[in-house]
Each structure stands twice: as structure tokens, then as C-alpha cells.
């Protein structure tokens, strides 16, 4: 399911946000809060005055509430990325609703606000996922450009590809987790600088992305 690209995905699953109509690029970071990777991502964004979107895993939210508050305090958007990071594909409705709801509750308890956006782990979803997200009043978000930052590839290979593929409204996928912790500080600025050189600016996901 995650192998379909944004243009095919938009035709098959128009209710999902694959990219937006905004004149900006949307940086998204999945799998945090992570004690090492997330603060690095936050530093990079703060130094450049940029806002992004963090899709958080509920069990990590419980473990690192201070980092959740830092994400919020820095003005980023917080999204839901399930509680245990399972594949949602072909799981029961109860299972999927619980993964989403438990995470929303955990985030709301800390931030005072339930997330409006949901991203299924690995990009795996089925119709039950779409219904479960809808019943929790969350917009399902995937991406139009996968940075492949979790793969063991040099930044010099990854960054130019991401930069050249980007267009207005692109949703870029990065991770703040144990796989990217050691390279986030070098890779993400390389991509951001390339995009700035191309004249882009950056926006977190918000309700204005849905119009
Ligand atoms: Zn993930």
C-alpha cells in the first residue's frame, strides 16, 4: 500500500492527504518523540525559524512528555502515529480505533489538544483505517516524497533526490527515531538548504491545508 505514489494514491484514495494546495513544502517527522533524534530535529528547525509536523507514537508520548511539550512550545503541529506503531493493514476495527484513540488521548492529556492528523505506520492502511480515523475526527495524511532517511544511504545520495522531486504542496517524510538519530543533523539541513535555494518556504500541516 505504501508503494503507490501520490498521484495514483490521490485517484484511489481521495480522502487521504498526499500533498496540499499550499504554496509551501511540508516537512513531517515520524516515530518520535525520541530522546536523541527529536531534540536534534527541533534544533535544526528552530535555528531556521521553520515549523514542521511531528507524527508521534503514543507509547513514546507517555515516556517523553517533556519532548512533546517542547514540540508544541516551538509551534509545530503534532499528529497521531498510533500507540504501538503496528501495521494497521487487515486489523480489526476495534484494534485500529484503540491504536488511534489511545494515542489521541495521550497527546491531549499533555498538550490539551487532540491531534487533527493521523498517519498510519509504514503507510499501511485499509478501509477500516480510514473509517477509524474518521470516527476519531482525524485527517489521514501520507506523503508525496519519502526521504528514505531510514535506509543506510549517504546523505549525498538522498538529499539531491528529495530536493529535485519537491514542488509546492509536497509532503516530505523524515523520521526522528533510532535509525536516523545519527544522521538527522547532517541530512535534514542539506535538504532544507537545497529547498530554500529553489525558493521554497515551509509550513506545518494545519486546517488550511485541507481546503
Ligand atoms: Zn512510523
Cβ(62)–Cβ(190) below 8 Å: no
Q: Model-level pTM?
A: 0.96
Would 1 be classed as within a structural domain?
no
Tell me, in angstroms, the distance from the centre of ligand 1 to residue 85's CA.
Answer: 6
pLDDT score recorded for residue 3: 59
Q: Is residue 55 part of a domain?
A: yes
Q: Is residue 36 part of a domain?
A: yes
DSSP run (H or E) holding 171: strand 171-175
Phi, psi of 131 (to 5 degrees): -70, -40
The secondary structure of 141-168, three-state, reads ECCCEECCCCCCCCHHHHHHHHHHHCCC
Assigned domain for 96 exists: yes
Q: Cα(136)–Cα(98) distance, rounded to whole angstroms?
A: 10
Which residues participate in catalysis according to the annotation?
30, 175
Residue 34's closest CA among 76, 70, 86? 70
Q: CATH number of the domain that 103 lies in? A: 3.20.20.370
CA of 174 to the centre of ligand 1 (A): 9
In a domain, residue 107? The reply is yes
| Number of folded domains that form the chain | 1
Q: Is residue 79 part of a domain?
A: yes
Residues with CB under 5 A from ligand 1 (ion): 30-31, 121
Strands (E), 65-134: 77-80, 117-118
Q: Let me know if residue 38 belongs to a domain.
A: yes
Question: How far apart (Å, rounded) are the C-alpha atoms in residues 10 and 208?
Answer: 18
Domain extent, residue 85, equals 6-210
> Which stretches of the chain score pLDDT less than 50?
1
pLDDT in tens, 134-179: 999 999 999 999 999 999 899 999 999 999 999 999 999 999 999 9
- Cα 95 to averaged position of ligand 1 atoms, centre (Å): 17
Strand partners, 28: 53, 173
CB atoms within 10 A of CB 142: 23
How distant is the alpha carbon of residue 182 from its chain centre?
Answer: 19
Q: If you measure from the C-alpha of residue 87 to the centroid of ligand 1, how many angstroms do you get, rounded to a whole number?
A: 9
The per-residue pLDDT for 4 is 73
In a domain, 201, yes or no: yes
Amino acid at each position: 500500500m505504501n508503494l503507490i505514489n501520490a498521484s495514483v494514491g490521490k485517484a484511489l484514495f481521495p480522502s487521504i492527504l498526499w500533498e496540499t494546495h499550499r504554496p509551501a513544502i511540508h516537512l513531517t517527522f515520524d516515530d518520535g518523540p525520541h530522546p536523541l533524534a527529536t531534540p536534534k530535529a527541533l534544533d535544526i528547525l528552530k535555528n531556521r525559524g521553520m515549523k514542521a509536523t511531528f507524527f508521534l507514537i503514543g507509547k513514546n508520548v507517555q515516556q517523553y512528555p517533556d519532548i512533546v511539550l517542547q514540540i508544541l512550545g516551538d509551534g509545530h503541529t503534532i499528529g497521531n502515529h498510533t500507540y504501538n506503531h503496528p501495521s494497521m493493514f487487515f486489523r480489526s476495527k476495534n484494534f485500529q480505533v484503540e491504536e488511534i484513540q489511545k494515542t489521541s488521548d495521550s497527546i491531549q492529556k499533555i498538550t490539551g489538544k487532540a491531534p487533527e492528523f493521523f498517519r498510519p505506520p509504514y503507510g499501511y492502511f485499509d478501509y477500516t483505517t480510514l473509517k477509524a480515523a474518521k470516527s476519531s475526527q482525524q485527517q489521514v495524511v501520507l506523503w508525496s516524497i519519502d526521504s528514505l532517511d531510514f535506509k543506510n544511504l549517504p546523505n549525498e545520495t538522498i538529499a539531491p533526490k528529495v530536493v529535485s522531486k519537491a514542488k509546492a504542496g509536497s509532503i516530505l517524510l523524515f523520521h526522528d527515531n533510532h535509525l536516523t538519530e545519527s544522521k538527522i543533523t547532517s541530512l535534514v539541513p542539506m535538504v532544507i538548504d537545497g529547498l530554500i535555494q529553489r525558493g521554497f518556504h515551509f509550513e506545518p500541516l494545519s486546517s488550511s491545508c485541507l481546503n
